[in-house]
Amino acid sequence: MRLPRKCSMNQRADFARVKTTGQAKAGRFVILSTLPDPSLETIRTGFITTKRSGKAHERVLLRRRFRALVQEHAPNFSEIRRFLVTIARPGASKASYDELAADWVRQAKRLGLFPRPDAPK
């Protein structure tokens, strides 16, 4: 399944709002920021890959990998009405997909994006 265009963040003001009022957790390869917004219909996601994260073809590959991670894991989020920004850290282009995925999911769990499993009865 392809991530629909309506799920993309493309306004500078949205990125700034997530940065100033949202929560962020940093891992080894990614920084994940989020901001719940009940006025949204669905998740709005953005990816930041600067020149420090690698050469042009490496940045494109990182964005593709981040998109795949969002497509795979976003349906499992406890609340889908939110902004989600993934920022590549220097060295992320050298990481394998599995390492990126593990780091991304770890930060998403730290932010509380996934529902908590029910306590045993």
Which pLDDT tens digits describe the chain residue by residue (121 residues)?
Answer: 567 788 888 889 999 999 999 999 999 999 999 999 999 998 999 999 999 999 999 999 999 999 999 999 988 998 899 999 999 999 999 999 999 999 999 999 999 999 877 645 4
pTM listed for this prediction = 0.89
Please answer whether residues 84 and 32 qualify as being in contact, where contact means their C-beta atoms are separated by less than 8 angstroms. Answer: yes
- What pLDDT sits at residue 119? 43
Measured CA to CA, the distance from residue 15 to residue 22 in angstroms comes to 10
H helices of the chain, in order, are: 12-21, 56-73, 97-110
Among 1.10.287.110, 3.40.718.10, 3.30.230.10, 3.20.20.70, name the CATH number for the domain at 5-110: 3.30.230.10
Interacting residues of 11 by C-beta distance below 8 A, sequence separation 6+ = none
Distance, C-alpha 110 to centroid of its chain: 13
Which residue ranges make up each domain of the chain?
5-110
Nearest to 72 by CA among 97, 38, 93: 97
Q: Comparing C-alpha atoms, which of 70, 117, 87, 77 is closest to residue 26? A: 87
**Half-sphere exposure at residue 2, Cβ-oriented, CA atoms within 13 angstroms:** 3
